[in-house]
Structure 1
């Protein structure tokens, strides 16, 4: 398989200018404030699972507009005192899956909050449980163009807000050390993690893997497959909407969130990735405001990235920062 993008040396220097709306911060302050003002309370109930050596619970918390979003919360069965937490977001098309299916972080001694993605969960994996009760104007199949005509209606406004509210709910769990909360995710989940790290109160570390939703225009222009092509298909039909579409997605671009992230951050990238061009991930990484930052590079991997090897790298990196 050939390299799909720039060489490693070129990627290290790749720092493109990405459109940033003048009201970017005001837009997100208002959006998050409205979601918090919508109210609602989080509820935690025992999950139906054969797992017996961990506590696994079903969390329902208020997301965008106060609408219910679900997550699995897994934690060690016997633990003294509040624990550090890892809030994880899912990749494109996937959901939170089955209770007890994803428990590696809990086995490593963390409270693991695995967040469902509204309106997804039927593309692969074991399913999701969170609907997205909002309509859309003309769009291509998938979620990339839902509500694309305005940042107010764009699908990822709801998803990113859900992510912030997931961190809010995690911070309020009595068994969580609110000073040690990390966010993570792969692909779409990595892009969501960047937004959560930039917009949330109290995130102490971020670990985005093969992060999607960064440098949108570059992704649309060079991706060989995957969700970026939904935008390309839409624009091939709606030829007069190019400027408007890229203005909308600029409010959701991981590069603009990276500029606002100051906590320790560990990225990963795969140089033969056909879905998330490595230059889009490096665009975010190279704009990162954090001083404590690192990126794991997998030269011969596609979109699977580092897989379990990357999780081991994350676990060691996070333990060094959280003292876990």
Structure 2
């Protein structure tokens, strides 16, 4: 497979200016305020029959968008007390929290691990909202595309920020050592949360992140969710493409990156047809906190595969965010 985008030397020097909504901060301040004011209960229930002996698992339900319940797994080293450094994971596109057996690495390394279900994508958290206006029938990219206040990612990103709020209230969690992570969609969400949650996030680990530089993604990606946007604009020729991109600009990882202060380790696959490298670098180069990027020269959207978790654990150790020994 050849490079799917710009060559590496151009990616390193890429500094494209991407217009930002004038009311971006006000939009998100209002969005988060309204959801926090809506309240809602945090419920944590032990899961007894997991077939696992080295971890303890809890089913978590926390209030997300407008107080609506969001599902998560809390996975802990067996018998651990706390508080522990905590990894919050957001999931890739069209997936959900799955099963606890899908998420054993970080608890095995001594972290508390909160795995957040994906609104409308997973099995346990419905998207309780009906946006008005036209949308393409497949996927989530164009739900509410005519109005940022109705767009799907307004609700989903809010859920992800509220996951940090919920984690900070758990006795097993060290509120000063919260790490947000994810791959693809989850990577884009981790950038958004790092930008919106401020000092409540100690580090971010966005792998091959989606939701960055939507216009470039629509122009270059040949597979995956950015193609949904192309399909929509192709089949809704009466709609103004600029209106769609104006809506998406409220959810662009490039703009969240400018506000993120926590150190971050990005990753990128230079042969990625789903999240083209130039979209990843657009957010990476604008990230305000200290950054590093792990480049996988021959990787597609799978990124580093089995090499990703060891890279994370070494980087977190170097940043002083490993669990205390013993």
TM range (shorter): over 0.9
Q: Deviations along 1:21-78, whole A, 9 cap, x unmatched? A: 0000000001001110000121000124111221100000000010010000001113
Q: Deviations along 1:272-294, whole A, 9 cap, x unmatched? A: 0010000000000011111x210
| Unaligned segments of structure 1, at least 5 residues | 122-127
Aligned residues: 317
SS in 2 for 1:269: strand
- Distance (Å, rounded) in 2 between the aligned partners of 1:266 and 1:42: 30
Q: 2:216 aligns with which of 218, 223, 246?
A: 218
- Distance (Å, rounded) in 2 between the aligned partners of 1:134 and 1:56: 30
SS in 2 for 1:207: strand
- Distance (Å, rounded) in 2 between the aligned partners of 1:133 and 1:263: 32
SS in 2 for 1:162: helix
Does residue 195 (structure 1) correspond to residue 192 (structure 2)? The answer is yes
Contact kept in structure 1, 2:85 and 2:322, CA below 8 Å: no
Q: Deviations along 1:170-196, whole A, 9 cap, x unmatched? A: 111001110000000000000010111
Contact kept in structure 1, 2:54 and 2:108, CA below 8 Å: no
Contact kept in structure 2, 1:74 and 1:100, CA below 8 Å: no
Correspondence for 1:237: 235
1:1-324 equivalences under 5 Å are 1-47=1-47, 48-121=49-122, 128-136=123-131, 137-140=133-136, 141-201=138-198, 202-239=200-237, 240-290=239-289, 292-321=290-319, 322-324=321-323
- Distance (Å, rounded) in 1 between the aligned partners of 2:64 and 2:82: 28
Mean CA deviation greater in 295-304 or 77-86: 77-86
1:13 Cα deviation from its structure 2 partner: 0.9
1:238 Cα deviation from its structure 2 partner: 2.1
- Distance (Å, rounded) in 2 between the aligned partners of 1:319 and 1:170: 21
Contact kept in structure 1, 2:271 and 2:300, CA below 8 Å: yes
Q: Deviations along 1:117-142, whole A, 9 cap, x unmatched? A: 01003xxxxxx311001113321110
Q: Deviations along 1:196-251, whole A, 9 cap, x unmatched? A: 11111510100000000000000000101111011011111223321100000000
RMSD after superposition: 1.0
- Distance (Å, rounded) in 1 between the aligned partners of 2:16 and 2:276: 14
| Unaligned segments of structure 2, at least 5 residues | none
Contact kept in structure 2, 1:151 and 1:248, CA below 8 Å: yes
TM-score, reference length from structure 1 = 0.96
Mean CA deviation greater in 153-162 or 45-54: 45-54
SS in 2 for 1:179: strand
Give 4+ residue runs of structure 1 displaced > 3 Å after superposition. none
- Distance (Å, rounded) in 1 between the aligned partners of 2:156 and 2:82: 32
- Distance (Å, rounded) in 1 between the aligned partners of 2:283 and 2:149: 23
1:323 Cα deviation from its structure 2 partner: 4.1
Mean CA deviation greater in 23-32 or 131-140: 131-140
Distance 1:267 1:232, change over 3 A: same
TM-score, reference length from structure 2 = 0.95
- Distance (Å, rounded) in 2 between the aligned partners of 1:133 and 1:79: 36
Contact kept in structure 1, 2:81 and 2:172, CA below 8 Å: no
1:80 Cα deviation from its structure 2 partner: 4.8
- Distance (Å, rounded) in 1 between the aligned partners of 2:89 and 2:203: 12
